[in-house]
């Protein structure tokens, strides 16, 4: 296998990865970005992005990611299609972190910025998967606006579902919240907010059997898992808020993570438990998960990498 030695490797190509690349390339770290299997990240599955500062008329998600890529390339970032399949980090400041790409190429990098993001969990129904982009969304803050004054439903009983149901209730005429157990997992404060909204209807013991509609969402078929009663409701938007999975499987056993697999970073920095290895974006943030916050931590990771290289004399 050929080995390539570089200063900075960035794994992942969402807003965090590309922003890290813009800063790292301007600092002359000559970064290499490996895009991962979903070049551009989660935003490429969104249509309009209306909440990223600097785009007064909104921007198409894939277009925004392409522009971020071009901005990174303008300063010399080497963007490559490929996936990190194995990592072997080192604690030696003289050593190199070893990353295998596509099981066939080895990179030795002095610094590594991990921006592999997180993936929204879906129920896994065929009808749900078919209608992603046609009324099924995993991000109320991104897509809620398209359902202004319309009736929508949201599935999930955690803090995200409760927060997003409350968010949607400000925009939509009615929100049906479907919780599979007879209680919510969300904090009491969040539950209180949901209960205080007149236009949120809570349905406990409720599971989605099918999302109805050919090309766009028209309704839901719901089953009550206590009574087995089946019901159909009319909606135009269906939001899935059953959690996210950080893309950290290949780092397990090396990087410190919380119990759900999010990478832990030191204080306000992007430092992981390995010197020279930094984490930015959704892979280390389960709370905010916005493009703009991911971009902000991408910038921090590049600055942290630059400072680290300076301290070890590179």
Total residues interacting with ligand NDP, rule: CB under 6 A: 17
What's the closest the beta carbon of residue 108 comes to ligand NDP, in angstroms? 36
Which of 180, 197, 203, 209 is in the footprint of ligand NDP by CB under 6 A? 180
What's the closest the beta carbon of residue 128 comes to ligand NDP, in angstroms? 11
Pairing label, strands 219-224, 230-234: antiparallel
Q: Does 285 bind ligand NDP (CB under 6 A)?
A: no
What's the closest the beta carbon of residue 91 comes to ligand NDP, in angstroms? 30
CA 200 to chain centre: 26
- What phi and psi, each to the nearest 5 degrees, are found at residue 230? -110, 140
Other C-beta atoms lying within 10 Å of the C-beta of residue 36: 21
Q: Does 214 bind ligand NDP (CB under 6 A)?
A: no
Q: Which is nearer to ligand NDP, 17 or 157 (CB)?
A: 157
Contact assessment for residue 263 and residue 248, using Cβ atoms and an 8 Å cutoff: yes
Restricting to residues 119-138, name those near ligand NDP by CB under 6 A. 123
Which of 14, 36, 61, 156 is in the footprint of ligand NDP by CB under 6 A? 156
Q: Which is nearer to ligand NDP, 101 or 154 (CB)?
A: 154
Q: Catalytic site residues?
A: 139, 142-143
CA distances from 55 to 63, 83, 96, 303 (A): 12, 30, 40, 25
Other C-beta atoms lying within 10 Å of the C-beta of residue 224: 14
Q: Say how far apart CA 314 and CA 232 lie, in whole Å.
A: 63
Q: Which is nearer to ligand NDP, 26 or 130 (CB)?
A: 130
Contact assessment for residue 152 and residue 172, using Cβ atoms and an 8 Å cutoff: yes
Contact assessment for residue 183 and residue 197, using Cβ atoms and an 8 Å cutoff: no
Q: Does 158 bind ligand NDP (CB under 6 A)?
A: yes
Q: Which is nearer to ligand NDP, 84 or 161 (CB)?
A: 161
What's the closest the beta carbon of residue 209 comes to ligand NDP, in angstroms? 11
Tokens 């390995």, located at residue: 274
Restricting to residues 17-46, name those near ligand NDP by CB under 6 A. none
Q: Which is nearer to ligand NDP, 78 or 210 (CB)?
A: 210
Pairing label, strands 136-137, 277-279: unpaired
Q: Note the residues at the interface with ligand NDP (CB under 6 A).
A: 123, 155-161, 163, 180-181, 185, 242-244, 286-287
């Amino acid at each position: 296998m050929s080995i390539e030695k570089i200063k900075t490797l960035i794994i992942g190509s969402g807003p965090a990865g590309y922003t890290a690349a813009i800063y790292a390339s301007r600092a002359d770290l000559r970064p290499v970005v490996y895009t991962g299997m979903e070049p551009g990240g989660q935003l490429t599955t969104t249509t309009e992005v209306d909440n990223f500062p600097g785009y007064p008329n909104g921007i198409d998600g894939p277009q925004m990611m392409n522009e971020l890529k071009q901005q990174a390339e303008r300063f010399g970032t080497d963007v490559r299609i490929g996936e990190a399949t194995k990592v072997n980090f080192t604690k030696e400041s003289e050593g190199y972190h070893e990353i295998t790409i596509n099981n066939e190429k080895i990179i030795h990098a002095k610094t590594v910025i991990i921006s592999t993001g997180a993936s929204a969990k879906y129920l896994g129904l065929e009808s749900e998967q078919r209608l992603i982009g046609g009324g099924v969304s995993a991000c109320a803050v991104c897509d809620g606006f398209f359902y202004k004054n319309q009736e929508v439903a949201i599935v999930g009983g955690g803090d995200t579902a409760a927060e997003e149901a409350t968010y949607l209730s400000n925009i939509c005429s009615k929100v049906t919240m479907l919780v599979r157990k007879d209680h919510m997992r969300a904090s009491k404060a969040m539950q209180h907010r949901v209960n205080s909204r007149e236009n949120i209807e809570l349905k406990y013991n409720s599971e989605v059997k099918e999302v109805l509609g050919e090309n766009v969402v028209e309704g839901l078929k719901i089953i009550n898992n206590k009574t087995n009663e089946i019901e159909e409701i009319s909606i135009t938007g269906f939001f899935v808020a059953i959690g996210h999975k950080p893309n950290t499987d290949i780092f397990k056993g090396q990087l410190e993570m919380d119990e759900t697999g999010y990478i832990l970073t030191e204080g306000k920095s992007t430092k992981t438990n390995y010197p020279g290895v930094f984490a930015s974006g959704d892979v280390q943030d389960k709370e905010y998960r916005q493009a703009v916050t991911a971009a902000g931590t991408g910038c921090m990771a590049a600055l942290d990498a630059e400072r680290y290289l300076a301290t070890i004399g590179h």
